[in-house]
Amino acid sequence: MRAIEGKRVDEALNLLTFVPQKGGPLLRKLINSAVANANQSPDIDVDRLFIKNIHADEGPTLRRFRPRAMGRATRIRKRSSHLTVILDQK
């Protein structure tokens, strides 16, 4: 979501509220968690936070098998990802 990088946290949360894609609520929850973690530090002003970077890395892949015709099986890969949010102060 390049549209929310570089924006203030409250602007990004407002944008993610109305995004029709499935990842909108997931990213919103992730950003809220990052803000809550930043709020634990006394020297960080939560109102001045902005989103410096968001990226998704490849996570572990679960390998399963699906039965096919004539006694064969095909591999199904259930992929997952690791999301990272980096916040900074202006």
According to the model, what pLDDT value does residue 75 have? 97
| Domain assignment present for 56 | yes
| Domain assignment present for 26 | yes
| Domain assignment present for 75 | yes
Enter the pTM of the model: 0.79
The domain containing residue 23 runs over which residues?
Answer: 9-89
| Domain assignment present for 47 | yes
Q: Is the pLDDT of residue 78 over 80?
A: yes
According to the model, what pLDDT value does residue 5 have? 80
Confidence class of residue 79 from pLDDT cuts 50, 70 and 90?
Answer: very high
| Domain assignment present for 24 | yes
| Domain assignment present for 65 | yes
CATH number of the structural domain spanning residue 40: 3.90.470.10
Higher pLDDT, 11 or 1: 11
Cβ pair 12, 51 in contact under 8 A: yes
| Domain assignment present for 4 | no
Task: State the total domains in the chain.
Answer: 1
C-alpha distances in angstroms, 82 versus 6, 75, 79? 20, 23, 11
C-alpha distances in angstroms, 70 versus 63, 66, 75, 77? 21, 12, 15, 21
Cβ pair 6, 53 in contact under 8 A: no
Distance CA 65, CA 12 (A): 40
According to the model, what pLDDT value does residue 37 have? 93
According to the model, what pLDDT value does residue 1 have? 60
- The arithmetic mean of pLDDT across residues 23-43, rounded, is 92
| Domain assignment present for 72 | yes
Cβ pair 48, 89 in contact under 8 A: yes
